[in-house]
Amino acid sequence: MKPTALTLSSIALLTLGSALAGGDMAQALGPPAIGVDRLAQSVVTITGLTIVETETGVQLTIETDGAAVAVPDVSRTLGNALILEIPNAVLSETGFDEFEPAEGIALIQASELDGDRVQIAITGSDAPPIANVTDTSSGLVLSVTRGVAGSGTTDDALLLGITGEEDDYFVPNASTATRTDTPLRDTPQSIQVIPQEIFEDQGAVRLSDAIRNASGVVTGESEPRGQRFTIRGFDSSSILRNGFRLTNGGSGNSGYQELANIEQIEVLKGPASILLGAIEPGGVINLVTEQPLSTPRYEIGFSFGNREFLEPTIDFTGPLTQGKRI
């Protein structure tokens, strides 16, 4: 009898056959393959949020389309807000906002995030709220308790306080273009206002010193008759006082205007200046003087400088009669 030769492949086939014959098919073939559906978790649709006020806060019910929703982490806070993030979930509507649903709860907001995630932010009035989650057949139920200031476990927040002074250089109204006290934003002309605070802080004593703050205005050559100004390329611009002509820019004597009793300087630029008379189309300068006050005010000033410059100023205002009619 000739000996039987067994190859490696025949041995493997015999081993597999013995395993199948012995009923060990499961062991021979290994565990069953996992289906694709089990690998990819389905996306849950959140159909609504129901808020019921309680003695300690609110009860928030997250309603779904019947599918189970993952229980979120309820320990994440940001400032006074408790942040809950639900994975594999979307909102049936664009968003949800509920302001002040209960005492101590300022806002409850739900929004969608990238990657099929839903974020629910519950903001407390003084401190982040505390929530307990219960998983029910219809969805998640959150028992939210209002937080107590100073009892949170969040990181120390930086309290930033900003103090400052009101900008006195801003003037909202002007009267040159319309002859009425009209807001600049409602005036269809180009007007630049230089308030009294600017030329007082700069120490300006002449109109030429203060007018440097206006764009498009250049001080011309000083003459014995006074100073002349060029606005938008047009020389010898006229000067007004409270809307009335002081000088004719072409041939008048403007003199050297003082600023002691000037409240603000208004520069009307462009051809709209011809509405005030025979004026160069480049623009016009209007000096607005201080108005009398109903309360007494007294101011005495003195300025001095080089070249024997001396300038005393006196400014008195207030009612002349007890009834304040004059």
Whole-Å CA distances, 182 to 90, 201, 267, 286, 287: 52, 26, 15, 15, 16
Read off the pLDDT of each residue in 23-32 and give the average, rounded to a whole number.
42
Instruction: Walk me through the domains of the chain, giving residue ranges and CATH numbers.
Output: 44-145 (2.60.40.3500), 173-289 (2.170.130.10), 292-326 (no CATH)
pLDDT at residue 157 in the model: 56
Q: How confident is the model at residue 38 (pLDDT cuts 50, 70, 90)?
A: very low
Beta strands 44-53; 89-91: pairing state:
parallel
Beta strands 139-145; 130-135: pairing state:
antiparallel
Q: How confident is the model at residue 161 (pLDDT cuts 50, 70, 90)?
A: low
- Residue from 152, 102, 158, 103 nearest 128 by CA: 152
Q: Rounded to an integer, what distance in angstroms lies between the CA atom of residue 236 and that of residue 36? A: 87
Give the pLDDT confidence of 89-112 residue by residue, as tens digits.
888 887 788 888 888 898 998 888
pLDDT at residue 6 in the model: 40
Matching residue, tokens 């801003």: 170
Read off the pLDDT of each residue in 153-178 and give the average, rounded to a whole number.
72
**Is residue 148 a contact partner of residue 130, using CB atoms and an 8 Å limit?**
no
pLDDT at residue 266 in the model: 93
Q: How confident is the model at residue 287 (pLDDT cuts 50, 70, 90)?
A: very high
- Residue from 85, 88, 92 nearest 41 by CA: 88
% of the chain residues with pLDDT over 70? 78
3-state secondary structure of 177: coil
Output the six-digit token pair for 243. Answer: 């809307």
3-state secondary structure of 237: coil
